[in-house]
A = this chain, B = another copy of it.
Amino acid sequence: MSVHEDAGERRARAGRPRDPRLDEAVVAATLQLLAEEGYAQLTVERIAARAGVGKASLYRRWPDRVSIVLEAVSRNPERPSAPDTGSLRGDALTYLRTLVCYRSLHFDAISAISGEALSDERFGDAFRAGMTEPTIAGLRVILERAVERGELPAGTDVALLSSVPPALLLAQRLVAGRHPDEAFAERIVDQFFSPAGELPAPDPVDPDESELP
């Protein structure tokens, strides 16, 4: 390390360092509360209490309540991979099955702030970064492979089609009030990610009576 070490860096090391476990505890508590009671009921004091942390430790890390929430819902490093199974149907099924088994806590938390994306740009960014972008990116790869293989026609609107599953999963959660399951993932695959002629036999379950909106 250079002897001309930056004074700011040296200074940054002075004093007791922040406990990184608190970051985790706060993020976890925020996601729990968001998922359990919604954004409107979320208070800083309850986050602090749930995390077993003082309010000052929150405000040392984030400037306000909104920033805490944004960090919590944006922390989504895991993204399902898009393995090449050889067919569109296989790829999509693998991918969406993994997705619906995804951490439902994070899914609910980010759904709880969806409405705020309308009025606050930062929520929009967090929503995209935590929810739609990682989901869509994988689907896009799968769909492009399918177009190359000829399973889908060249004119297929890949961008639109790849946005359907996250939109349906969100709507399913908001409208039906329960977490999308593997059966729902399969239903999506059957309808939208199966090349024509490969449609399976009609679902024995009467779709009109399903809980779909």
Q: Which residues of A line the B interface, CB within 8 A?
A: 35-41, 108, 111-121, 124, 127-128, 132-133, 136, 153-161, 163-164, 166-168, 170-171, 173-175, 177, 187-188, 190-192, 196, 199-203, 207-208, 210, 212-213
Known contacts being A157-B203, A175-B132, is A112 close to B115, with CB within 8 Å?
A: yes
A170 contacts which of B35, B116, B120, B170 (Cβ < 8 Å)? B170
Provide the bound-state CA to CA distance between A3 and B51, in Å.
31
| Chain B residue with Cβ nearest A41 | B119
**Which chain B residue has the least Cβ–Cβ distance from A124?**
B177
Residues on the B chain within 8 Å of A38, using CB: 115-116, 118-120
Contacts of A108 in B (CB 8 A): 118
Among B121, B132, B156, point to the contact of A177 (Cβ < 8 A).
Answer: B121
Contact for A166 among B40, B115, B128, B171, CB less than 8 A: B171
Which chain B residues lie closer than 8 Å to A200 at the CB level?
155
Give the docked Cα–Cα distance between A213 and B127 (Å).
Answer: 11
User: Closest CB-CB distance, A24 to chain B, in whole Å?
Assistant: 23
